[in-house]
Structure 1
């Protein structure tokens, strides 16, 4: 699913579909939900009491001058209003409780789903898309669902009560009122189509703004060092102006609905008054009937006049539900097979068998690569940038799946191995390792949450972190900041190596683990890496060839194919070999730098 599909135009759900989809989330809280909804019945129906009492007030007090009714009716109106107020408060409380719980559950469900997505999903979607779809849409979907159902049922039972009052007072006037009511809601279909077209654009623009904020937080040093403040400001202003334009377009195409309804309804009120006059004169209805009818009609029409704005909110909620459940029902391509097997270790070899891989169809990054690595051996993968080195090792833990061919562990295709079991046996140290917001201890313990303090101390020692930890006031409990911003590159690498130590995986992938470090940091990190590599099957991707000379085998990958393989000594004997050319170029450059110093 690319970003275009991610923010594609969707058809809003109907109320029936919305309730059906959200039903399983509501079910655990059905009693409170039912109680909150049940309270809307009398709360809505009590709207009609004022109109009913008005008939008797006009007929018995205003016209007949009956003093008894004059004392009772005001008290009854206050009493019923108090009861309605208590019911409205209780209904709102229970519905809000249920709505908030559903929102929380939905966010948990979505986050759990997010963790199952393939790396290629995050390659093609920015952080704003993810935040909007997995967080903002969840709020809009569940919160508006509950409030919409509450409002709908309250207005429904209020309308039923008021329509009964209308019929009670005059069936002739009621027919006029209902015909006008039907005409007033007809334009909502046009508005629905406009909302469907504009909303995905607003969502996309909103996610772009969120991405911009995230980039500003994560890239503030780059912004400052390149004086990009004006550039970023112009970019952000452009996105905000786009959202303003889309919002005004939404207003233009939808907010005329309320005033149009107001005008249509005014014809209904005028028609009722005009025809009602003749009914009063003929004696068909009393003055009390007419006053009660007008009061009930205005109470029925008043919420209808504002239905335009409410309808927009409801349609947004329906679209949000579609978007949320599209994600919940989305099937990641990379997952455990239905009859996958769990492995308890790697006993013989890791093999790449005629592997072909494409990020985009028709553009192969790897072309029929075959490589067999016995356990306990160290394989170095070198070559020009963009040749496919990282892509090759990313196929082993199934960050991506092969387009053709297979990756095997002990002769078994990794696609047939349980995904968690597979990744449990592989540790990866990246060039830029991600540290989570938290302490050093928490970031290392990610490798094995059940590790003992002894295991942790051993991992710290093996990663050459003990001196650094000892220099910190809080030691292992020192807060590292978001993405480890409070640490140097070498410190972050050693924490990542300690994490890999704690995992105790038999296969280790080192993806340019020292390429971004200075010589001093590289030296100490390399010692930690040497400890990590002992008695393990290791794949080393390296730019600096001096770090891989002792590998059991070196393969040179250029333009998606293995062009050479052998030990350092064997490859250096090749007269015009690719490895020798790379090595000599680096050695020459290193000598030139040394001479300049």
Structure 2
């Protein structure tokens, strides 16, 4: 077996070595400080043995031989060594904390980059609590835990080596007894490891759900109040906290027997040492000083093992957090740019859906053989029953999802051959419920184009019929709008989103039921803003209110994932088909 293979095998078998190797890219920029901080733990551990060693001459020279100069010297030496040890401990803790925080920041940044790269489908299948916990808390647990565990591992290793040397120096016979007893510590820890992993994984899932409940309570507080759901959410929270309690008690039940067992094993070891030590002192094999130094070293060696249960849980939690982090980092988005992807700089001709099939879940197709051409500069309206696939069609154009079969082409180029960033730069989207970010009016408008100047922003606000409102705000463009734009009305949010789209100045505009949630007065103002936005652009409009799309160049009726019919408003009314039925339903009273 060659050296490389041996090292690979060692890394796989040694959990600590494996996790250090995985985290090395994040440790590498700070390796010198990390190495120095960890190296300082070596003398910290070794000095434990030095302090214990001084007890032998103290007992033999002072307590037995009554030599006065030793009585003054040794206490000062012990205090001096302890002061040095304290300084080293402080320096080591400072350096290790500095490195741990830097590693945490690095891991969090990498995880956030990974989060930004994930497909829309990833967010469809993961709740907010899980994402918050795994992308934030795990980074903290893994980074801090790894450094702490490495520091403790080396400190305790060198402490144990120095203390074992003290044991052997003072009495090899008693040392054999003490070391033999140590072997009984290994089996119980191996016994609980598998059980701990199972409980910790369930605990992480449970804590993620707790965070989800908090998020939903915050975001849905008006719904909770209006539907009087306080008792229901209280019940949910009680259930999840009961589960947290149950898991915590299972952990205690499954692991806390370690500490009392260690006490028992340790007491047996001490009892055997005292019994055998008494015999060796009586027959003159060792001195009283040997025995006292031996007992001190033994207690210093055994004492950390008393709390091994709690430390072991912390170590396993850290290692599992690292596993979860790399599970995320190993994920690959389904939608990726080809190495030969082209840049889309303008749209000259059309958008073509060619025999498109799509499914969110394998085996459950939601779009069936969609064939549609959208000429440049034209307005296409998608109407039909709820859940028919209108929004899905609009989401496929910016490639938020990939199709199962067929192709979507812009100016003859398959969008899979175009880079995602350049594709999406050509598309502005206004949704029914637009997401506004915490910050100012200006900051939200600039999301459409970060290089836009104030004149462009005011022009966009005017086109969105929002300029007079913003001028009346206390700080104008610099007015804070609150998280998710909570300080704005529904119509104002929509118009701010439209201003954002104006600033982007993209040739393709997708309007996904942009006025359906508004009252008649707000709808008229927003519709005026939308009419301004739609000028000289290729527009895809999704609407339930047919009055807003009668002037579209083409109306496409989508029912159950298929194109039922398409044509102008007048052409579709003459067909007396699906569109006529929708129209009659909405305008029956007016026609009467």
* Same fold flag (TM > 0.5): yes
- Indicate the residue corresponding to 2:336 in structure 1: 335
- Partner residue, 1:416: 417
Deviations 1:95-131 (A, max 9, x none): 0011111111211111111111111111111110001
CA–CA distance in structure 1, aligned partners of residues 321 and 173 of structure 2: 43
* Aligned mates of 1:19, 1:363 — CA distance in 2: 44
Q: Describe how 1:29-428 pairs up with structure 2 within 5 A.
A: 29-428=30-429
Shift of 1:591: 6.8
Q: In the alignment, which residue of structure 2 is the partner of 1:583?
A: 583
Any unmatched runs of 5+ in structure 2?
Answer: 1-11
TM-score w.r.t. the length of structure 2 is 0.96
Q: d(CA) in 2 for partners of 1:81 and 1:13?
A: 33
Aligned counterpart, 1:436: 437
Structure-2 change in CA distance of 1:112 and 1:483 (3 Å):
same
Residue by residue over 1:14-47, the C-alpha shift from the partner in whole angstroms, topping out at 9 and shown as x without a partner, is 1011101111111111121111111111111111
Query: What is the distance in 2 between the residues matched to 1:297 and 1:387?
Result: 75
Give 3-state SS (helix, strand or coil) of 1:47's partner: helix
Give the secondary structure class of the aligned counterpart of 1:509: strand
Q: Separation in 1 of the partners of 2:590 and 2:274?
A: 97
Residue in structure 1 matched with residue 524 of structure 2 by the alignment: 523
Q: Residues 439 and 476 of structure 1 are in contact (CA less than 8 Å); yes or no, is this contact kept in structure 2? A: yes
Instruction: Tell me the equivalent position of 1:5.
Output: none
Structure 1 residue 13 displacement after superposition: 8.2
- 1:516-553 Cα offsets, whole Å, 9 max, x none, are 11111111111111111111111000100111111111
Distance 2:590 2:436 in 1: 32
Q: Which residue of 2 aligns with 1:558?
A: 559
1:16-27 pair list within 5 angstroms: 16-27=17-28
Cα shift at 1:282: 2.0
Contact 1:12–1:322 (8 Å) recurs in 2: no
Matching residue of 2:5 = none
CA shift in 2, pair 1:589/1:72, >3 Å: farther
Distance 1:295 1:581, change over 3 A: same
Contact in 2 for aligned 1:159/1:300 (Cα 8 Å): yes
Please give the alpha-carbon distance, in whole angstroms, between the structure 1 residues aligned to 2:13 and 2:316: 6
Please tell me whether residue 475 in structure 1 is matched to residue 490 in structure 2: no
Residue ranges of structure 1 left out of the alignment (5+ in a row): 1-10, 593-597
- Structure 1 equivalent of residue 448 of structure 2: 447
Cα deviation for residue 338 of structure 1 reads 2.4
8 Å contact kept, 1:170–1:285: yes
How far, CA to CA, are the matches of 1:98 and 1:508 in structure 2? 48
Q: Give the C-alpha shift of residue 261 in structure 1.
A: 1.2
Structure 2: distance between partners of 1:461 and 1:359: 39
Aligned-partner SS, 2:117: coil
Distance 2:179 2:410 in 1: 73
Q: TM-score, with normalisation over the residues of structure 1?
A: 0.96
Change (3 A) 1:558 1:549: same
Query: How far apart are the structure 1 equivalents of 2:82 and 2:582?
Result: 87
Q: Deviations over 1:401-430 (max 9, x none)?
A: 101111111121111211111111111000
Structure 1 residues 258 and 12: CA distance shift in structure 2, 3 A: farther
Aligned equivalents of 1:368 and 1:589: distance in 2? Answer: 36
Separation in structure 1 between the aligned mates of residue 517 and residue 488 of structure 2, nearest angstrom: 14
Write out per-residue CA displacement over residues 143-202 of structure 1, whole angstroms, 9 at most, x where no aligned residue: 111111111111111111101111111111111111111111211112110111111111
Name the count of aligned residue pairs.
Answer: 581
Q: Distance in 1 between matches of 2:14 and 2:551?
A: 62
Deviation at 1:590, TM superposition (A): 6.0
For the 8 Å contact 1:414–1:422, the answer to whether it is kept is yes
Match of 2:509 in 1: 508
After superposing on structure 2, the runs of 4+ consecutive aligned residues of structure 1 that deviate more than 4 Å are 589-592
For 1:12 and 1:588, the matched residues in 2 are separated by 75
> What residue is the counterpart of 1:3 in the other structure?
none
User: 1:12, 1:318 within 8 Å by CA — same for their partners in 2?
Assistant: no
**What RMSD, in angstroms, separates the aligned Cα atoms of the two structures?**
1.3
Tell me how far apart the structure 2 counterparts of residues 306 and 200 of structure 1 sit (CA, whole Å).
23
- 8 Å Cα contact 1:128/1:211 also seen in 2: yes
User: Residues 164 and 404 of structure 1: is their aligned pair in 2 closer, same or farther, counting only changes over 3 Å?
Assistant: same
